[in-house]
Amino acid sequence: MVLSFGETPLANALLSAAQLDQPEDRLPLDLAFCPSCSLLQILETVPPERLFRHYYYFSSFSRTVLQQAKQVATRMIQTRNLGPESFVIEIGSNDGYLLQYYRRRGVPVLGVEPAVNVASVAEGERGVRTLCEFFGRELGQRLREQGGLADVFHANNVLAHVADLNGAVAGMRSVLKENGVAVIEVPYVKEMLDRCEFDTIYHEHLCYFSLTALDRLFVRHGLVIENVERLAIHGGSLRLFVAPEKSARRRPEVAALLEEEAVWGVDRLEAYQGFGGRVERVKVRLGELLRELVGQGSRLVAYGAAAKGATLLNYCGIGRDLIEFVVDHTTHKQGHYMPGVHLPIYPPGKLLETMPDYAILLAWNFIDEILEQAAEYRRRGGRFIIPIPEPRVLAR
């Protein structure tokens, strides 16, 4: 055990007004390290049907995400010389935020997205053919039998959500062409530890990956990580290029990062044991800061009804005694309430309407994009509070 959050509500289980006075499920959220496979993981597996069949997270609500998606699609089209004869699959394809860029260039695509409400946006608004299913060994085999082998297979911020990791990776191997490549993005555990990003821990995220743990996972299924890149997105991520072992050509960057991980002790419990203490210090310091401001008569709100925001607010005990409401530009979230703390979610316009003194930035991973959008709020004297790694009030 590395850190226990106790029993917490599901981070994306936003509530309607009618649900506020009904009992709310809380489940154990405990972070543990496995010494045999070097995987940091939570101990509770919530059935995926419950977490992902109806989903409030739409990737296209972030310009940063869209920019990065367009960039990688353009790069893969060029470097793999993709065209009308090619085929690109994405699992966790969400609202078509990535596959739309392949489709616009005439490359046949297939999305796999279990959330019914999100898959319908991909199909309805972006014309991206989407299977509304969970991806795994069985679907991978079925797609192979149907002849749909992929030149490129994307999985962005998906693997951490998959309970049957081995089944998903076996499925990936099934649908990849022999000279195909899987491009996989995952939040990087080293960034989470170093920047104390404890709010990214919630029931959807079963695993917190290192390259070492992923290397062991892929090798088990005849896949080789041939390249790895560090990305800034989502608080620091890895982008892996994974190919069937026969065609894979491993670049030195992979060995270099594996070596770096061995140096900091990725496969030893000691590397993770200090994390809990640092999280506790952030929790105390953030509570002190917010209470001090409210004690001075300041009014506080939150910005970004992010899943990570639910972990932060609930674990730090930050509720309506300190925060009046949350603003978020995801239309599907507006009018709902944050799980556990029951903070109402309004459109960002509410900020200027009410001009609270401070806004705690729950979606800190999009700080540039959000500060730009909130320029008028800041011009009028509103100030942002950045909660991690060290709670601080942003200078005007």
Binding site for ligand DWN (CB under 6 A): 57, 61-62, 157, 204, 234, 304-308, 328-330, 333, 363, 365-366, 369-370, 373
Cβ nearer to ligand DWN, comparing 88 with 207: 207
Cβ atoms of 31 and 6 closer than 8 Å: no
φ, ψ (nearest 5 deg) of residue 121:
-70, -40
User: Closest separation between CB of residue 378 and ligand DWN, Å?
Assistant: 14
How near is the Cβ of 307 to ligand DWN at its closest, in Å?
A: 4
Name residues whose C-beta falls within 8 Å of residue 296's C-beta, 6 or more positions apart in sequence.
none
| Smallest distance, ligand DWN to C-beta of residue 270, A | 28
Distance CA 293, CA 274 (A): 29
Our CB check for ligand DWN shows the closer of 185 and 215 to be 185
Do residues 325 and 343 make contact, with C-beta atoms less than 8 angstroms apart?
Answer: yes
- For residue 292, the surrounding DSSP H or E stretch is helix 275-295
From the CB of 252, what's the least distance to ligand DWN, in Å?
29
Beta strand ranges found along 26-148 (DSSP E): 27-34, 39-42, 88-91, 109-112, 130-131
Q: Which residue from 239, 103, 89 is spatially nearest to 152, judged by alpha carbons?
A: 89
In this complex, which beta carbon is closest to ligand DWN, that of residue 112 or of residue 224? 112
Name which of 162 and 243 has its Cβ closer to ligand DWN: 162
* Contact in structure between 146 and 174 (CB atoms under 8 Å): no
Q: Which is nearer to ligand DWN, 86 or 365 (CB)?
A: 365
Q: Residue 124, Cβ neighbours under 10 Å: how many?
A: 12
Q: Shortest gap between Cβ of 224 and ligand DWN (angstroms)?
A: 25
* Two tokens, residue 395: 């200078």
The least distance separating ligand DWN from the CB of residue 10, rounded to whole angstroms, comes to 11
State the minimum distance, in angstroms, from the CB of residue 292 to ligand DWN. 26
**Whose Cβ is closer to ligand DWN: residue 131's or residue 158's?**
158
From first CA to last CA, the distance across the chain in angstroms is: 41
> Considering beta carbons, is residue 87 or 315 the nearer one to ligand DWN?
315
Spatial separation of the C-alpha atoms in residues 182 and 390, rounded to whole Å: 36
Residue with Cβ nearer ligand DWN (40 or 82): 40
Q: How far is residue 178 from each of residues 241, 242, 252, 358, measured CA to CA in Å?
A: 14, 12, 22, 54
CB 202, min distance to ligand DWN, A = 7
Which residue reads 């890895």 in tokens? 238
